[in-house]
């Protein structure tokens, strides 16, 4: 990946402290080696911890998923004007008629992926295909949960943006692909897990073909009432088995590249 990603918002600790604040700092006890760093503003681990606590209260139980949410700074992946909302449980626009999904929905999909992994997986999602890179936030989460992530984005502007933003993240196991997500990415198939951030009328045959035996796919799909539901597909030696879960709302799955 080329270049170093800009860090935003601007650090919140560069405003000169008031004389009163300086006096308080001078009289404050020194930090000991055992004190945990708290960070500043939205870089504080405490901000992410509160989001994790809300996810846990909402029913998320997989500890690796919760740990990933606690480690990845969501505010780095949204536009500056939306940074104050970064840790709320809400979808946010990222431009080009696309969104970064609600944390609770992303966590639910990742937990569903793990539910399909057996003990031999060693607590990892294995090789993952992500359809719809968007701003790169989910790819950053997946990087902490898997051996390798191949993430496909059809919009060139978002592909470039994700490449820039992910350059600042510590994991190097993400490969970004500019291409039509409906086609998956055959060169790295088969995939142990596949997750999609856009929903269509049917699951593309390419995704089903590229899912490894023993693998699991999670994606939104149009329901009979015109809404969307989460669909889980497991592949075994006899074929594919499908389950339907709760209602969701994702952007439409589209073909082609722009």
Q: Residue 54, exposed/middle/buried by CB under 10 A (0-12, 13-18, 19+)?
A: middle
48 vs 38: CA distance, rounded Å: 11
Q: How far are the Cα atoms of 29, 56, 138, 173, 201 from residue 165, in angstroms, in the given order?
A: 37, 27, 12, 15, 31
Q: Which residues of 32-53 are buried (b: 16+ CB within 10 A; e: fewer)?
A: eeeeeeeeeebbeeebbeebbe
Q: Are 244 and 229 in contact (CB under 8 A)?
A: yes
101: annotated active-site residue: yes
Pairing of strands 127-131, 191-196: parallel
Report how far apart the first and last C-alpha atoms of the chain are (Å, whole number): 21
108 vs 132: CA distance, rounded Å: 17
Catalytic residue, from 16, 18, 44, 101: name it: 101
Catalytic residues: 101
């Amino acid at each position: 990946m080329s270049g170093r990603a800009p860090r935003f918002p601007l650090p919140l600790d560069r405003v000169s402290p008031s004389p009163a604040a300086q006096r308080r700092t001078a009289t404050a006890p020194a930090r000991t080696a055992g004190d945990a760093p708290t960070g500043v503003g939205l870089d504080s681990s405490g901000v992410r911890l509160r989001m994790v606590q809300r996810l846990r209260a909402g029913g998320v139980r997989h500890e690796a998923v919760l740990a990933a949410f606690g480690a990845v700074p969501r505010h780095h992946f949204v536009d500056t004007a939306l940074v104050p909302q970064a840790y709320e449980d809400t979808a946010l626009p990222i431009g080009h008629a696309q969104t970064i999904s609600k944390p609770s929905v992303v966590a639910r999909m990742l937990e569903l992926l793990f539910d399909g992994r057996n003990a031999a997986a060693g607590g990892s999602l294995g090789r993952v295909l992500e359809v719809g890179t968007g701003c790169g936030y989910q790819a950053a989460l997946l990087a902490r949960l898997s051996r390798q992530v191949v993430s496909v984005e059809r919009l060139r502007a978002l592909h470039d943006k994700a490449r820039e933003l992910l350059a600042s993240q510590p994991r190097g196991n993400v490969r970004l692909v500019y291409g039509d997500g409906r086609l998956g990415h055959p060169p790295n198939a088969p995939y142990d897990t596949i997750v999609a951030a856009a929903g269509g009328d049917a699951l593309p045959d390419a995704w089903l073909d590229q899912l490894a035996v023993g693998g699991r796919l999670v994606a939104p799909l149009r329901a009979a009432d015109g809404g969307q539901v989460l669909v889980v597909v497991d592949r075994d030696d006899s074929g594919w088995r499908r389950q339907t879960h709760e209602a969701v709302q994702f952007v439409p799955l589209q073909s082609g590249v722009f």
